[in-house]
Amino acid sequence: MASEWTEAYVDYDGLKSILQQILHYKLSKQPETHLRSLNKKLSLHRTLSGLHLHHGNEGDVEDQVKEVDKLQKDDSGSGHEFYKTKSLGESGEGGEIEVEFFRKLDEELNKVNTFYKEKVEEVMDEAALLNKQMDALIALRFKVQSSDGNGACLKKHPSADILNTTSEEMGFNDSISEVEMSGKSSLEESSNSHNGSGNMGENLQRNNNQDEESASDPEFNPLHNIQQSNGNQEAKNPLEVLEGVKITNTLDSPMSTIKGIFKDSKHDELCFEKAEVKKVEERLREVFIEFYQKLRLLKHFSFMNLSALSKIMQSYEKITSRRAARSYMNIVDNSYIGSSDEINNLLERVEATFIKHFSNSNIKEGMKSLRPKVRKEKHSVTFYSGFFFGFAIALLIAVVLRIETKNVMDKEGASYMVNIFPLYSFFAYIVLHMLMYSADIYFWRRYRINYAFIFGFKQGTELGYREVFLLSTGLAVLVLACFLGNLHLDLASKSQNLKTLTGLFPLALVAIVLVILFCPIDIIYRSTRFFFIKSLFHCLCAPLYKVTLPDFFLADNITSQIQAIRSLDLYICYYGLGELSRRESKCHGHGAYNVLYFAVAVIPFWLRFLQCLRRVFEEKDGLQGYNALTYFMNIVAVLIRTAFELKKGTTWLVLALLSSAVAVIINTYWDLVVDWGLLRRHSKNVFLRDKLLVPYKSVYFGAMALNIVLRVAWMQLVLEFNLHSLHKVAITTVISCLEIIRRGIWNFFRIENEHLNNVGKYRAFKSVPLPFNYDDEDSKKGD
């Protein structure tokens, strides 16, 4: 079931617990021998579907239902139907438990009825909006085809020659299709929600009168301007639908953002080019796909709840030996959720419209877009991830032994630790971050957190924890193999040429990773790679792009990779300033390096600061203003800490300690209270929040304590608490790895809190902005 709608489904476990009470009561009244046989009989009973009720040798319906009165409809004035069981007749001892069962059953039926009706009304309103959007799109398509091919501007009042254009010349359909509001859906009809696209395709082909592959009837969106009067068709100008229409500026690109700031296009003409119309089509196509997914989920919601009610009534009959299921299910079938057929009708019309207007009447391609395949787990992924993991462990042990035997941590290997080790630690940070992300996905799935919807992954392309684990272990094997080869050849040889060759290993690794990341061929999870590149580009271009959750989530994670980014600075120094040949630690003597050393540490926090500012002005969210202040404090702390690292001195030490302490306190509070939603004063779970997905409260308290400890551990970079057994670079690497682990823990609880916010608002679908806007809508918003 849709995890965001959990509260709206029938509480099957609650009803089942009441039935267990009835069963225990009846068993307590039975002799011991009969109790054993009845227990065995009930344990062997299994219900396959709960759709078809088995009543054995049944008599008349009146004889079976005499224990249950018919349900009465109670109109409370809210427009919703409410049902209530009046009495159970003479139920004997223990009847109060059965009364409680039917009271609970009535509540659940009323709950799903109310929720379903509200959602159906919402999608009907959305269908009306999509109707108008399709009207404008069809008219725009005609306008582009009738222009010189380079685009045109549409005046508020089209010219006379356009007014005289008939609907036949434009190729529009002459019939008007409306969503049928009548019809009755039985429980068996609801079970057809899992039918494949082939059945839908056959229905579309049966209704097709124009082309064998065209799905033109039932049509979801014909133009409203074509009317019939007294049997004679009276054609009006279809382009009149474009009066008062403008293309919505979503500010989804840097240029559109800049234009939106300096230009008010409210009263502009509708000017467009072929490329712009193509973008409009893509956006409307995405709107239709999301709308179709919502319809499918609503249909499945109806099917699941009807199945649950049927199955629980069958269990009730088995336990109580009362013939009440048929009578109750007749009422359920006549209720709104059992009899409404609007969703089925809309599904057919959306399929027909999408196939005709967005798939060139290709049924197979259209249904493939509407119903993308779910990614299947592959045994090869499990095998290779285990193989790479074992290989990586073996290589890691070999690297540690090699470091110990060559005394790399001592003064003799100081040059190697300063020059070479940070180049490989860059990949270590990435691998660790990927491993933490893999663990996050595992626990998100375990606790039914819809991370794919939260991040906005396209259905069927999201990676599971196995795939992420495979990528991380594969990269680990590649890096460790190069590092071990570098250690063996570099430290065992005195040849300068060989050392120069081994010094190129890290650069070759960077090249391999970049080639794989930007490879346009559909290998190694191309859609995920491009999604990552897109989000990273949006982060780097802040605040020119609209801030979405994937963008600021990625930016937050980048703030935990300061040392990895500084390693990139070292790459520039090592390979660009000639340190490769000299093997001397003179990077800090270069002015350009020191400037970059400052900048790269500040850039991640600066990008988040800009993202927060955009959200303040765009979403009018004052909380983001305080969030921007926290990142500004981080910028100050990082600058002072970097200055102390380069210049030393007591004054810089005191300033670094004070600024870092303030930043740690503010960040810790923000993590626990805002990002995780914990430490609520009036929560039913003390010092936590009302809803918790992890069943163990100690996990939350442990996570909060660990977050504080790891935040404070970051202060080690200021205090420089040195250990004689470890080199300074090694200590910095360990502290940086602890920060990445803290970020991995933060990721889980941050997305859990986001998921619970979606659950509280029943938000199971992303909001896609409509491409067209109307002047009358603007006036309504203004009023």
How confident is the model over 368-389, as pLDDT tens digits?
Answer: 888 877 777 889 999 999 999 9
Are the beta carbons of 752 and 446 closer than 8 angstroms?
no
Q: What are phi and psi of 86, to 5 degrees?
A: -75, -50
pLDDT band of residue 49 (cuts 50, 70, 90) is very low
pLDDT recorded at residue 585: 57
509, pLDDT greater than 70: yes
Please tell me which residue, 763 or 345, carries the higher pLDDT value: 345
pLDDT recorded at residue 201: 39
521, pLDDT greater than 70: yes
213, pLDDT greater than 70: no
pLDDT band of residue 656 (cuts 50, 70, 90) is confident
Compute the distance between CA of residue 752 and CA of residue 691 in angstroms, rounded to an integer.
Answer: 10
pLDDT band of residue 393 (cuts 50, 70, 90) is very high
pLDDT recorded at residue 93: 56
Give residue-wise pLDDT tens across range 9-35: 999 999 999 888 888 887 777 665 555
pLDDT band of residue 703 (cuts 50, 70, 90) is very high
pLDDT recorded at residue 211: 37
186-200, 355-369, 434-448: range with highest mean pLDDT: 434-448
Give residue-wise pLDDT tens across range 80-105: 667 777 655 444 555 788 888 888 99
DSSP 241: G
* Cα 330 to the center of its chain, rounded Å: 39
Please tell me which residue, 74 or 298, carries the higher pLDDT value: 298
Tokens of 191: 């079970």
230, pLDDT greater than 90: no
Which residues, other chains included, contact 731 with Cβ-Cβ below 8 Å and sequence gap of 6+?
716, 721, 722, 723
The long-range contacts involving 653-660, CB below 8 angstroms and separated by at least 24 positions, are 653/718, 656/718, 657/715, 657/718, 657/719, 659/633, 660/714, 660/715, 660/718
Mean pLDDT of the chain: 76
DSSP 542: T
Compute the distance between CA of residue 287 and CA of residue 770 in angstroms, rounded to an integer.
Answer: 7
77, pLDDT greater than 90: no
Compute the distance between CA of residue 245 and CA of residue 247 in angstroms, rounded to an integer.
Answer: 7
Query: Which of 41-55, 467-481, 553-567 shows the lowest mean pLDDT across its residues?
Result: 41-55
DSSP string covering 449-492: --HHHHHTPPTTT---HHHHHHHHHHHHHHHHHHHHHHHHHHHH
Are the beta carbons of 336 and 81 closer than 8 angstroms?
yes
Residue type, 223: L
Query: Which of 193-202, 254-263, 736-745, 746-755 shows the lowest mean pLDDT across its residues?
Result: 193-202
Query: Which of 226-235, 626-635, 731-740, 756-765 shows the lowest mean pLDDT across its residues?
Result: 226-235
Flag whether the pTM goes above 0.75. Answer: yes
Are the beta carbons of 569 and 593 closer than 8 angstroms?
yes
610, pLDDT greater than 50: yes
C-alpha dist (Å) from residue 401 to 343, 397, 484, 487, 724: 65, 6, 10, 11, 19
Please tell me which residue, 289 or 723, carries the higher pLDDT value: 289
pLDDT recorded at residue 496: 59
pLDDT recorded at residue 58: 41
Query: Which of 54-68, 314-328, 506-520 shows the lowest mean pLDDT across its residues?
Result: 54-68
- Rg, Å, the chain Cα set: 33
228, pLDDT greater than 80: no
What is the length of the chain?
783
pLDDT recorded at residue 673: 94
Task: Count the Cβ atoms, other than its own, within 10 Å of residue 405.
Answer: 10
Q: What are phi and psi of 727, to 5 degrees?
A: -75, 155
Query: Residue ranges per domain, the chain?
Result: 1-370, 379-760
Compute the distance between CA of residue 570 and CA of residue 506 in angstroms, rounded to an integer.
Answer: 11
Give residue-wise pLDDT tens across range 252-272: 666 666 666 555 544 445 556
Percent of the chain with pLDDT strictly greater than 90: 33
Query: Which of 39-53, 348-362, 457-471, 698-712 shows the lowest mean pLDDT across its residues?
Result: 39-53
Compute the distance between CA of residue 343 and CA of residue 408 in angstroms, rounded to an integer.
Answer: 69
pLDDT recorded at residue 121: 92
319, pLDDT greater than 90: no
191, pLDDT greater than 50: no
pLDDT recorded at residue 451: 92
The long-range contacts involving 441-450, CB below 8 angstroms and separated by at least 24 positions, are 441/465, 441/468, 443/748, 444/748, 444/751, 444/752, 447/693, 447/694, 447/752, 448/3, 448/693, 449/3, 449/693, 449/751, 449/752, 449/755, 450/3, 450/4, 450/755, 450/758, 450/764
Compute the distance between CA of residue 63 and CA of residue 323 in angstroms, rounded to an integer.
Answer: 8
Residue 50, phi-psi category: left (phi > 0), alpha (psi -120 to 50), beta (remainder): left
Are the beta carbons of 754 and 689 closer than 8 angstroms?
no
